[in-house]
Structure 1
Amino acid sequence: MKIRSLLALAVCGLFVQALAQAQQSSTPAGSAPSSAPSSDAVRDALAKKEGDADNTTLLKETLTAVDKQYSLIRKGQVQVNYELGYTYIGQEKINTNLSSGQATLFSIENSNSHTITNTLMLDYGLRNNLTANVSMPFISRYADNAGYSGVSHTLGDLGLNVRWQPLEVKRDEPTFTLTGGVRLATGESPFKVDSEKGLATGSGINTFNVGANVTRIVDPVALFGSLNLGYGLKAKHLNQQLYNATLREVKPGASVGFGLGFAYALSYKITTSFSFQESISAGSTLSFDNANGARTQAKTQTQSAGILSIGLGYRFTPKTTVNVTVGAGLTAAAPNLALTMSVPLLLK
């Protein structure tokens, strides 16, 4: 009997102790030290878990969609992207002769060009703040003008680039990215192709470029801007026939470009962006051998190309976002219409 009584008393004691602990845990926070584990559990439950998206994350992904230079991958990572681009250039030229005092030989010449570019881009993380990039464009170009009408399919100019972030990315502070690269003249050169038999798909000049990009997140908007400089090497040993003369050498002028815009996350899946880009190129110097064999030179005018772009991105998965950008040319040297779609293919 005594053993049974002791067991009963022990069970009652445990029950009373459990009831007292339950009552203490139900009291408001701060009334007793025992409430601390409960409030910590609530904070943990409400805290943002790994993988959850917020406005800052979405805006950074939007900047990646606008310009790959705003995002760097980790050391040792490989990322492959595919980009499909379309540009249209349409011009009307009026040919007339006023030497007699009256307009004679009057005609309107239409020149249209449609270009489809399939580009594969490979990124490799050399370091956490240093990324190398290789871009390989495959170009299909159709032209309809007085000299030639047809289609050309060939490799475009190969690009080799690096992106470097000298400073660690910090919240509420601007992020700077320095860029550099070279564009190799692997496409069909406009200084070698016969304008009556084919179309050029490259620049014909090896070009070096350096630049800087800056972005600042002002939640829920991200502002960004860029500045770049370009310098091209001479194209030598040419033998192109133009107007009873032979083109021998082309010395391109230096170029400067800048851009600015903003990005906005409409929701967790849809982002949009607006940007303006301007490129100013100094005149190029062309060297000719005329019919008598004498060397002459001519210089082209300075060109300015400005384009206004509107972008939209749709996020299918945390690692897959399809971006579409539509651009309209604002100057005579810019394409009338530019349409671009980019899709990530691989990230590992």
Structure 2
Amino acid sequence: MTNYSWTRGPRSALAAIPTAVMLFALSQGAGAQALAGQSVEDRLNTLMRVVDEQQKQIRSLERQVTNLEMAQRGRGAPGNGAPAGSEAVADQPGEDGLPVPLPPLAQVTPGAPAPGGATGTATGVPVNPPSPEAGSSAATGAPGAPGAPENPDGTIGQTQRAAEPVRTQAEQAVVQREHAPLFDRKLTLDWGISDTYYDRRQLQLSGFLALDAIFLGNINLGQTKSHQVMADLDTRYGLTDRISVDVDVPYIYRYSNFIVGGAGGAANTLSDASVSSHAIGDVNFGVYYQFVKETNDIPDIVGSLRVKSPTGTSPFGIKVIQLEPDNTNLVAPSKLPTGTGFWNLTAGMSVLKTYDPVVLFGSLSYTYNIARSFADISSVVGQTEPATVKLGDIWQFGGGVALAFSDKDSASISYTMAIQPASKTRAPGGDYVKVPGSETTAAVLNFGLNHVVNKHLTINGAVSVGMTPDAPNFVVGVRFPYTF
């Protein structure tokens, strides 16, 4: 019997189809000769057996082509060779993932012993065909033979579980930046630097109304231009495949330029002054827990709990001073704060779903600011005002989409809104009083660009544009997460 050599790969699966057709045609010709000397009933029985065997061959070839296509997508593994003594050759794939070659039908006369001593049917199809190991090592892909697979144990293609979609490096960068840490990495050092810019203008009135209609005094337009440059190092460590902890230590440099009119009593004369400060910011740390791992049907769901400590310079008690002796209009704080002055807790939930090459993500968080008592909250020189301050708790939500346009590059766009009710103060022995104008709504539109340098280093760039007066004008930054 002729040995058939099969070529590995998806193309060989396609080549198997015309081969099966040729075998089918040969078997028909041989079968016709074998049927010439039989009765009508024997001929019918023989033809039915031939049809059954050929249908088995066709179904087997179709299954093998489907399995190879799935293996190409990473969802299946080519099977092992058919064991000796199997009852249906066409139903068992070879070691290379392709069907074992079937012998031609009706090569012997009806009732004669099948080749190899196997008991045959009326058409000569052997019931127990020889195993594929009987062929040459090159044809079967035995280990050590030319063209043999590197992994002979049949695990080729099982590089992932079918239920978990595999993300590209670019998609992993999006996950790490927009969603949560990568739980499969033990240690990550994420260093970044950003610049936040504010430009605020405010109308300043110094005078009084005469006859309830005429304003007597100075009308000035005050302007404040502020830059806040922050460099921070976020150290993340994966405790398990579902739990990760991190500590973020920021260092902040602040610069503000105050511009006012009315210098020397002239309304059209401007004067300005600059103030800068730098110090450590509010150190914060958190823990992440992955409730649900992403599959083909459900998204990735991660919860987080963060704590921020008041290690930065508090804004309360900083005095506003007159910077020039002859200009009473030009006043500015003696220094700039680098922190909020409060402990707070933030509980959040984020959701992410990958639809290669698109990644959808969203988040919701609630920040609880713990009330704190200060010995002095007054900004007036020579005045001391002790009080307890309670900042408004913050609700923040957002969502966006990222597109991986190559294995290493992706771009994202998202929207974030933070709503904070009014803050309150309470004098010793008194009740809480609302601070006028302290209620804020900050909405920003974020644009990101990620580039994977190698399996350890990623570069994440981002630009955020403020959409409400309470949000910064813009924030531009870059981060360099390095995973070990």
TM range (shorter): 0.7 to 0.9
2:350 match? 213
Matching residue's letter, 1:129 = R
Secondary structure (helix, strand or coil) at the match of 1:67 reads helix
Equivalent residues in 2 for 1:102-251 (5 A)?
102-103=214-215, 104-145=217-258, 149-195=274-320, 196-242=333-379, 246-251=385-390
Cα contact 1:274–1:309 (8 A) shared by 2: yes
| d(CA) in 2 for partners of 1:340, 1:55 | 29
Cα contact 1:55–1:220 (8 A) shared by 2: no
Bigger shift: residues 227-236 or 30-39: 30-39
Shift of 1:296: 8.0
Secondary structure (helix, strand or coil) at the match of 2:345 reads strand
Shift of 1:245: 6.8
Q: CA 1:63 to 1:48, structure 2 compared with 1: closer, same or farther past 3 Å? A: farther
Decide which of 287, 296, 306 is 2:426's aligned counterpart: 287
Q: CA 1:263 to 1:200, structure 2 compared with 1: closer, same or farther past 3 Å? A: same
1:72-101 alpha-carbon deviations (Å, 9 max, x no partner) = 244xx2211101111000011111246222
Q: CA 1:24 to 1:91, structure 2 compared with 1: closer, same or farther past 3 Å? A: closer
Secondary structure (helix, strand or coil) at the match of 1:64 reads helix
Shift of 1:192: 3.0
| d(CA) in 2 for partners of 1:69, 1:25 | 47
Instruction: Work out whether 1:275 is the aligned partner of 2:414.
Output: yes
Shift of 1:325: 0.3
Q: CA 1:232 to 1:59, structure 2 compared with 1: closer, same or farther past 3 Å? A: same
Decide which of 69, 79, 84 is 2:193's aligned counterpart: 84
Bigger shift: residues 86-95 or 102-111: 102-111
Cα contact 1:172–1:217 (8 A) shared by 2: no
| d(CA) in 1 for partners of 2:377, 2:220 | 27
Instruction: Work out whether 1:257 is the aligned partner of 2:407.
Output: no
Matching residue's letter, 1:233 = I
Comparing both chains, which one has the higher relative contact order based on Cα–Cα distances under 8 Å and sequence gaps of 6 or more?
Answer: 1
Gaps of 5+ in 1: 1-16
Secondary structure (helix, strand or coil) at the match of 1:62 reads helix
Q: CA 1:187 to 1:332, structure 2 compared with 1: closer, same or farther past 3 Å? A: same
Cα contact 1:222–1:263 (8 A) shared by 2: yes
Decide which of 20, 42, 63 is 2:174's aligned counterpart: 63
Secondary structure (helix, strand or coil) at the match of 2:374 reads coil
Instruction: Work out whether 1:315 is the aligned partner of 2:452.
Output: yes
Cα contact 2:421–2:440 (8 A) shared by 1: yes
| d(CA) in 1 for partners of 2:464, 2:257 | 22
1:325-344 alpha-carbon deviations (Å, 9 max, x no partner) = 00000111111010121102
Cα contact 1:63–1:70 (8 A) shared by 2: no
Secondary structure (helix, strand or coil) at the match of 2:172 reads helix
| Aligned-pair Cα RMSD in Å | 3.2
| d(CA) in 2 for partners of 1:202, 1:282 | 19
Matching residue's letter, 1:112 = K
| d(CA) in 1 for partners of 2:184, 2:275 | 41
| d(CA) in 2 for partners of 1:249, 1:298 | 12
Cα contact 2:233–2:249 (8 A) shared by 1: yes
2:209 match? 99
Provide TM-score, normalisation by structure 2. Answer: 0.60
Q: CA 1:25 to 1:275, structure 2 compared with 1: closer, same or farther past 3 Å? A: closer
Shift of 1:191: 0.9
**Which structure's CA Rg is the greater one?**
2
Cα contact 2:171–2:410 (8 A) shared by 1: no
Instruction: Work out whether 1:332 is the aligned partner of 2:469.
Output: yes
More strand by share: 1
Matching residue's letter, 1:275 = S
Matching residue's letter, 2:193 = L
